[in-house]
Chain A
Amino acid sequence: MIKKFLKLDLMHLFLVFSIIAFAALLIFKQNTLLKINIVALTSIIYLSMALVHHYKDKTLTLEVIIEYVLIALLAIVVVSGFLI
């Protein structure tokens, strides 16, 4: 089972997580803090899956890591601007 999981393309799996995040944003559209938390959680999942994917793929370079970290950070920073 673990082997099967490791064979999965985690980046495709992330797209499924994104759809779940969209649904959660729609459900909790009135709650600003929760929406920020949803984006933060999605960013963490994105980063984790990306790192595992590139590690398995043997393409994990410093530049790749920095790119993922910065895009995740950007997503969080942009939405957390609404925290009063």
Chain B
Amino acid sequence: MKLRHFFLPHPETHKKAHLISWQALFIYILLFVILRIGLDFYAQVRPGVLGVNSSINKESLIEYTNKERVKKGLPPLVLNEKLSQAAGEKAKNMFEENYWAHYSPSGKNPWGFIQSSGYKFTFAGENLARNFYTSEEVVAAWLASPSHRDNLLNPRFKDVGFAVVEGVLKGQKTTLVVQELGTPSEVIAALPQETKKQATSLQVISEASEQNVLVSNSSILDPYFLLKAVGFSIIGMLAALVLIDLYVIRRRAVYRISSRHMPHLALLSVAASALFSMSPGSIL
């Protein structure tokens, strides 16, 4: 078996290069699945080593949020320390009880944290985000989701609090962003009667602040970056080899019963394009 047969079609039989044979494709899939399972397993065995390093901060979060509100003609939200404290407590509780939800396994709800902080509210709302790299990505993801967008651009909310907290969640180093939005109870008295009625029919939501807890200083390997790098390598190598195969076969002017090159390249390009824009971030 010669080395060039791994990259070029066979000179006599014109069979595809070994690296794009169906056996090789099978091995790539198997390796990728093993890598994915292995990362999950490693996250459980060595919690905190794998994770996403974020550069999110409270200032830019409120800046992007208010920018969107102003665009829609809404008044900007005012950063409220009590709501920020509530958001910090909520994030801390999520790490302690190891959950990713608005309600904790022990039954704690978002507005319980707000009430504990001493913020008296008429309406409150909560947006959560995790594993985003930048503040802009977080706000963009919230805006892309109708329910989160409704919270962000709700004219009833006056105050906001943020918490950006790093910790270990389900074995992975995670940056949680908690946004609590609220309307102080005294504001409702100043609202017109019609608005007041609508307000009382709403469910409670909250505001936010920023706090750092459980920060892991150990060296971090970003599993999503690794998956992206491996994915791109496989797709890139396959695309290059398919192109070489196409060129060589045309040059030799031989007819070969085989799969078509262009659809392979088209599908691989679609997959690469999706992979390029993939983000590990999720919102709730």
Contacts and interface: CB of A to CB of B under 8 A. Distances in A.
A22 B274 CA distance: 8
B33 A72 contact: no
Contact of A66 (B22, B131, B267, B277): B22
A23 to B, nearest CB: 10
Interface string A41-55: 011001001100110
Interface string B263-284: 1101111110111011110100
Nearest to B281: A32
Query: For the complex, would chain A's binding face be called helix, strand, loop or mixed by DSSP majority?
Result: helix
Contacts of A59: 257
A63 B280 CA distance: 36
A36 to B, nearest CB: 7
B101 interface: no
A77 B274 CA distance: 12
Residue of B35, B144, B267 contacting most chain A CB atoms (<10 Å): B267
Contact of A39 (B29, B141, B144, B274): B274
B227 interface: yes
B282 A75 contact: no
A84 to B, nearest CB: 6
Contacts, number: 113
A78 B234 contact: yes
A38 B258 CA distance: 26
A79 B280 contact: no
Contacts of B36: 81
Given A32-B282, A64-B259, A14 B266 contact: yes
A14 B271 CA distance: 14
B6 interface: no
Contact of A64 (B131, B234, B235, B257): B257
A72 to B, nearest CB: 7
A78 B275 contact: yes
A82 B224 contact: yes
B251 interface: no
Contact of B25 (A30, A38, A74): A74
9 contacts: A30-B141, A38-B274, A46-B267, A74-B28, A74-B29, A75-B270, A77-B32, A81-B231, A82-B279
Interface of A: 11, 14-15, 18, 21-22, 25, 29-32, 35-36, 38-39, 42-43, 46, 49-50, 53-54, 59, 61, 63-64, 66-68, 70-75, 77-79, 81-82, 84
